């Protein structure tokens, strides 16, 4: 119920106009969003790198409403790749295809995606395509497959364990030599397409993670830019322990998996895993379009809501 409420707010224009006028909203969002500029985000990355943690940077924005805005978003991502290279940061980038015009013109989106991948190849970096809601899962995967077929091997995809279709999708991505970041899923989805029970989602997550770990993949490069297959994305200690048991049973080195988490969440767990010798990567979002992302974070965990409320009454 809580999650559905905040996901609904994330899509409401009136809520965005109201919340973004409040200074307390911006201050509270700063826990989960590393500023509004790339300079602020790169400073957050430097702090993570100093703790032995890698990053993936995301210029916030989704569901662009014009092709001009999509072109601007693509330009910002290409510039970010250059900034990462110039800064020597151990970071790659994450993108949402709806930000590049996928819902307006898939052919234009494909052009923007390929231009970003060309830029990443020139910069020696990696791009992760985020998965959005189930209405665009098939289209997102088709664009990802087009990138693989075009010879871009430095690009990965996110798959969501709460969708029924994900087991089949994961098998197909791996068959094509793709790179998977497995997460539970952060959108409100109907029972027709997704598990509604937390227990069922966790059960499916563990099953998919085991298959992903069993599939193997390349090890992490020394500069931290190229994540291995697989990327296990969760803040749930039980899911992490389940993955570690699979790693031990299969006799895999710690470097054969990467645990991924979100900026502002479970830094203690991030540092613990890094200290144990596991590669850890933190998703670092930034930009002026922070409202939808912030609402989804509030909806994921009750403690995030209490964090927001406590800051609100501390104004």
Task: Tell me the domains of the chain and their CATH numbers.
Answer: 1-33+291-315 (no CATH), 34-289 (3.20.20.220)
- Global pTM value: 0.86
Which neighbouring-strand residues pair with 232?
182, 259
Tokens of 36: 């509004």
Helix, strand or coil, per DSSP, at residue 59 = strand
Where does residue 54 rank: exposed (0-12), middle (13-18), buried (19+ CB within 10 A)? buried
Q: How far is CA 177 from the centre of its chain?
A: 20
pLDDT in tens, the chain (315 residues): 555 555 554 455 544 554 555 454 555 666 788 888 999 999 999 999 999 999 999 999 888 999 999 999 999 999 999 999 999 999 999 999 999 999 999 999 999 999 999 999 999 999 999 999 999 999 999 999 999 999 999 999 999 999 999 999 999 999 999 999 999 998 889 999 999 999 999 999 999 999 999 986 666 555 666 776 799 999 999 999 999 999 999 999 999 899 999 998 899 999 999 999 999 999 999 987 766 666 666 666 544 444 433 443 333
Catalytic residue IDs: 130, 181
Is 31 within 8 Å of 307 (Cβ atoms)? yes
Closest C-alpha to 218, from 237, 206, 231, 233: 231
Q: Which tokens go with 223?
A: 């500069």
């Amino acid at each position: 119920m809580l999650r559905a409420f905040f996901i609904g707010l994330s899509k409401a224009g009136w809520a965005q106009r109201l919340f973004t006028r409040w200074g307390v909203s911006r201050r509270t969002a700063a826990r989960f969003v590393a500023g509004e500029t790339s300079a602020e985000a790169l400073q957050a990355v430097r702090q993570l790198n100093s703790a032995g943690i890698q990053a993936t940077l995301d210029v916030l924005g989704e569901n662009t409403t014009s092709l001009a805005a999509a072109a601007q978003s693509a330009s910002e991502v290409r510039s970010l790749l250059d900034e990462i290279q110039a800064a020597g940061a151990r970071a790659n980038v994450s993108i949402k295809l709806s930000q590049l015009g996928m819902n307006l013109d898939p052919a234009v989106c494909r052009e923007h995606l390929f231009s970003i991948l060309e830029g990443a190849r020139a910069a020696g970096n990696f791009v992760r395509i985020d998965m959005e809601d189930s209405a665009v899962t098939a289209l997102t995967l088709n664009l990802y497959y087009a990138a693989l077929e075009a010879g871009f091997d430095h690009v990965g995809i996110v798959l969501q364990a709460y969708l029924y279709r994900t087991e089949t999708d994961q098998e197909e991505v791996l068959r094509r030599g793709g790179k998977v970041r497995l997460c539970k899923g952060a959108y409100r989805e109907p029972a027709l397409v997704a598990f509604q029970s937390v227990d069922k989602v966790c059960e499916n997550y563990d099953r998919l993670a085991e298959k992903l770990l069993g599939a193997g993949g390349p090890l992490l490069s020394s500069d931290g830019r190229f994540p291995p297959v697989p990327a296990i994305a969760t803040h749930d200690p039980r899911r992490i322990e389940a993955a570690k048991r699979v790693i031990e049973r299969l006799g895999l080195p710690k470097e054969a998996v990467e645990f991924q988490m979100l900026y502002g969440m479970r830094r203690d767990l991030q540092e613990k895993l890094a200290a144990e010798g596991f590669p850890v990567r933190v998703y670092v979002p930034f930009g002026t379009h922070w409202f939808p992302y912030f609402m989804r974070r509030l909806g994921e965990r009750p403690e995030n809501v209490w964090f927001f409320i406590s800051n609100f009454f501390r104004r």
